[in-house]
Amino acid sequence: MELAGRLAPFFYGDSIAVGYGKDAPGRRRVGASPSEILDYLQKDLANNPTAFQNKLVNLSTGVSNNPYDFDSIQKQLELLRGAGATVNILGASKQKYSGENKQLAGLSRNLGFNFLGGFEAGPDQVHPLSYASYNGLSLNQPSSAMPNTPVVTGDNFQTVLAKKDGVMGTLNKGTNEFIERQWTPEEADRYVRYLNLK
């Protein structure tokens, strides 16, 4: 997938997206919950069904404002996947939300998105120590593989879509562990496209 014209990425989310997004397009609000951010995405997609097609979206899910609403977070990701977006998923404070970061990593893996991990927080233990970069990464480009490859990243590992004896699943390249699971139709398409590129 070619990102259209390398336009400025979108930033959606809560105060984390406010800090990193500055004047970039998108919608964000300090204190926004996962359900509010889902509403932002739904409204913008309703106004323009191709709003996110081939676009980069940096998403701060609002998990630190409601750590229990992973249902809305999953819907955010499913909506963006269905809309054809390339997504960098921003995490939450490593000091305070390590469990939530693990859940975000798993959800991102399952849906084929780039999870950038949690961040080192400042004195309030909630917001980043610095907005200069996200864990040393630029948010103006996808953090890892483009969606036409089967690579999904987590905090300290790299997992790829793989088949073992004809069975679908994922392979952790760090530990060589194969986990059997059904792929989504989008993942199956991505796997085929990746094989054709090799």
pLDDT tens-place string over residues 45-74: 999 999 999 899 999 999 999 999 999 999
Q: How far apart are CA 35 and CA 61, in angstroms?
A: 9
- pTM for this model (two decimals): 0.70
Domain membership flag for residue 189? no
Structural domain including 112 reads 4-149
Domain membership flag for residue 190? no
129-160 per-position pLDDT tens digit: 889 888 888 888 776 533 333 334 444 445 67
Domain membership flag for residue 176? no
Output the domain CATH number for residue 108. Answer: 3.40.50.1110
When divided into structural domains, the chain yields a total of 1
Q: How far apart are CA 20 and CA 14, in angstroms?
A: 10
Domain membership flag for residue 191? no
CB 185 within 8 A of CB 171: no
Closest CA to 80 of 119, 105, 44: 44
Residue with the two structure tokens 């999904």: 152
Domain membership flag for residue 196? no
Domain membership flag for residue 111? yes
Q: How far apart are CA 120 and CA 135, in angstroms?
A: 8
Domain membership flag for residue 137? yes
